């Protein structure tokens, strides 16, 4: 795929799935913006990308930092073609034990953060009359999961945001889609208890955990010209976990 002369902004891209997506866009010729709350991680990730990348520290829950992210991107790179709402966290526990702050933090980062980034990016994309937004949801946004009421609600909400923004932005040449990963090996899933991991993996038809690159492939497709007639959709990438 050729993303030459395109600018791709990926949130939460200092590591994990976001970094894999950033690497793939860089290899495909895009000018990549690494955005993450982890300042050191941003600098390290940006330095290791082929051709270099623009690294911007930004907390997606802050309107000011999201505004500054797109202001700097426009100043230095002049346009925004692709935005991937990837920044996300978990704070897992059963609902009866879940603290209000666990709920608020997960909803703030995973859902409100994507809204703020989408709003800021779509202003630019509407003027360009083109753009691709890809939201990283999760299969648990479709199925629910015990111990993840906050996380699955945020990821289900992100699917609602995807469909609503697809409806608002299609006439301006902007597509908005979601990718729903299953079990992917990253630091996020490394924190899960082994028994829970084994239980998940038993249900995966393709007998292995997913890799960040499996998700990056789906994102690249949805951001490419090949997907120009696809919008408001959720692409499940879970090795058959939810079949």
* From candidates 138, 150, 165, 175, binder to ligand NAP by CB under 6 A: 138
Q: Tell me the backbone φ, ψ of residue 179, rounded to 5 degrees.
A: -115, 135
CA-based radius of gyration for the chain: 17
In this structure, are residues 158 and 110 in contact, taking their beta carbons and an 8 Å threshold?
yes
d(CA 90, CA 59): 16
In this structure, are residues 55 and 46 in contact, taking their beta carbons and an 8 Å threshold?
yes
Check binding of 198 to ligand NAP (CB under 6 A). Answer: no
Residue 151 bears catalytic tag: yes
Closest separation between CB of residue 181 and ligand NAP, Å?
Answer: 4
Check binding of 188 to ligand NAP (CB under 6 A). Answer: yes
Cβ–Cβ contacts within 10 Å for residue 128, how many? 13
Check binding of 136 to ligand NAP (CB under 6 A). Answer: yes
Closest separation between CB of residue 84 and ligand NAP, Å?
Answer: 9
Closest separation between CB of residue 39 and ligand NAP, Å?
Answer: 9
Closest separation between CB of residue 2 and ligand NAP, Å?
Answer: 25
* From candidates 6, 73, 86, 152, binder to ligand NAP by CB under 6 A: 86
* From candidates 8, 56, 88, 241, binder to ligand NAP by CB under 6 A: 88
> How far, rounded to the nearest angstrom, does the alpha carbon of residue 223 sit from its chain's CA centroid?
12
Q: Which of these is catalytic: 70, 151, 183, 200? A: 151
Strands 174-181 and 82-85: unpaired
* From candidates 3, 16, 157, 174, binder to ligand NAP by CB under 6 A: 16
- Provide the edge-to-edge strand list for the sheet that holds 234-237: 54-57, 31-36, 7-11, 82-85, 131-136, 174-181, 234-237
* The one segment of 24-32, 33-41, 118-126, 223-231 that binds ligand NAP by CB under 6 A: 33-41
d(CA 12, CA 59): 9
Catalytic residues: 151
């Amino acid at each position: 795929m050729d993303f030459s002369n395109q600018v791709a902004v990926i949130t939460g891209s200092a590591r994990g799935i976001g970094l894999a997506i950033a690497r793939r866009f860089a290899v495909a010729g895009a000018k990549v913006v690494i955005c993450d709350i982890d300042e050191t991680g941003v600098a390290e990730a940006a330095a290791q990308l082929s051709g270099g990348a623009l690294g911007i520290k930004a907390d997606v829950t802050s309107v000011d930092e999201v505004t500054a992210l797109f202001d700097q991107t426009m100043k230095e790179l002049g346009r925004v073609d692709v935005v991937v709402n990837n920044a996300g966290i978990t704070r897992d526990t059963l609902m009866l034990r879940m603290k209000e702050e666990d709920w608020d933090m997960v909803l703030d980062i995973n859902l409100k953060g994507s809204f703020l980034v989408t709003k800021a990016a779509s202003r630019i994309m509407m003027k360009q009359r083109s753009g691709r937004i890809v939201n990283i949801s999760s299969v648990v946004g479709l199925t629910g999961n015990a111990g993840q009421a906050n996380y699955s609600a945020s990821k289900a909400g992100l699917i609602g945001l995807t469909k609503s923004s697809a409806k608002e932005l299609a006439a301006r040449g902007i597509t908005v889609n979601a990718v729903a990963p299953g079990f992917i090996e990253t630091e996020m899933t490394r924190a899960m208890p082994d028994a829970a991991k084994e239980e998940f993996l038993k249900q995966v038809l393709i007998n292995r955990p997913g890799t960040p690159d499996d998700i990056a492939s789906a994102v690249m497709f949805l951001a490419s010209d090949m997907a120009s007639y696809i919008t408001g959709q959720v692409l499940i990438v879970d090795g058959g976990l939810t079949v």
